Amino acid sequence: MSVPVLAVIGLGGNIGDAGATLQAAFGAIDRLDDTRVLRCSRLYRTPAWGVTGQADFVNAAVLVETTLSPMALLQALLQLEREAGRVRSADGSDRWGPRTLDLDLLLYGDTAIDQPGLHVPHPRLAERAFALVPLVEVAPDAIIPGVGLAAHALAAVVTDDIHALDNHAPEGDSIAPRASDHPGPG
């Protein structure tokens, strides 16, 4: 049996009801084999990054405990994206374009990984307020390998255009607790 690892997953979307899609993704991640959600951040409205001529995004993060390998976790996340209607172009031309659901493996324990298709910590994580704000909410003491404390990286970026949203789940939906509801480790 593998040793459990704490990992942080970033969530985002800007097509359709992105807030509802992210809320549903919290539960879907918690249902992954050998993975348990410990904390969910609030939802945040953030401006598009990369390709800016598109709708604002809704972003969040989840802290999970998993015994899945980093690649197995990534493959499970990509499957959840497909189930939510995400279609990726083979050539990557839609990399920063609109999407129903984007799930990124931001951190996997204290491990730095550089493999084809898998880079942890997520590239440019320390520069992206839309990822750092929810990450620090769910894992305030998180360390970004090669960078240092995520909270210090967050203090160095502009966050004026990141706004927390009302997080009421749609009637009848059950989601994992937000960070403020369930302290968990860290």
Instruction: Collect all residues with Cβ–Cβ distance below 8 Å to 123 and sequence separation of at least 6.
Output: none
How far is the C-alpha of 13 from the C-alpha of 17, rounded, in Å?
9
86 is annotated as an active-site residue: yes
Among residues 99, 124, 160, 166, which one is catalytic? Answer: 99
> Are 175 and 26 spatial neighbours (Cβ–Cβ below 8 Å)?
yes
Contact indicator for 86, 104 with CB cutoff of 8 Å: no
The region, left, alpha or beta by phi > 0 then psi within -120 to 50, assigned to residue 56 is beta
Helical spans, DSSP H, in 31-162: 70-83, 129-138, 150-155
> Does the annotation mark 102 as catalytic?
yes
Both structure tokens of 88:
């990726």
Catalytic residue among 17, 45, 94, 102: 102
Catalytic: which of 86, 114, 128, 141? 86
- Written as six digits, the tokens of 108 are 């996997």
Catalytic residue among 56, 104, 141, 160: 104
Please identify every residue annotated as catalytic: 86, 99, 102, 104
